[in-house]
């Protein structure tokens, strides 16, 4: 996945996140969706950072991998 594709996905996730936050009353399903979006955003940003770091180091950015949700959750702590 190219950087522009990752950024486009981040933009779409952010739009959905903002729509949900704009609701007056969030349902339990809305809250679950928000948590999933936030995790997806963390994974995308992490992936993008990996790609940029590899590129800056003179390596192939396509070697970056999307880390699983558990890794991202632990990484944030």
pTM of the model: 0.86
Residue 77: pLDDT band (50, 70, 90) is: low
**In the chain, where the domains are located:** 3-76
Q: Name the burial class of residue 64, with classes exposed (0-12), middle (13-18) and buried (19+) by CB atoms within 10 angstroms of its CB.
A: buried
pLDDT in tens, 27-39: 999 999 999 999 9
pLDDT in tens, 43-55: 999 999 999 999 9
- List all residues 6 or more positions away from 28 whose beta carbon is below 8 Å from its beta carbon: none
């Amino acid at each position: 996945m190219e950087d522009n594709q990752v950024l486009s996905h981040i933009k779409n996730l952010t739009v959905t996140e903002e729509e949900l936050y704009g609701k007056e009353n969030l349902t339990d399903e809305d809250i679950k969706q928000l948590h999933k979006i936030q995790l997806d955003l963390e994974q995308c940003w992490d992936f993008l950072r990996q790609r940029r770091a590899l590129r800056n180091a003179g390596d192939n950015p396509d070697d970056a991998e999307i880390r699983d949700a558990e890794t991202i959750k632990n990484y944030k702590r």
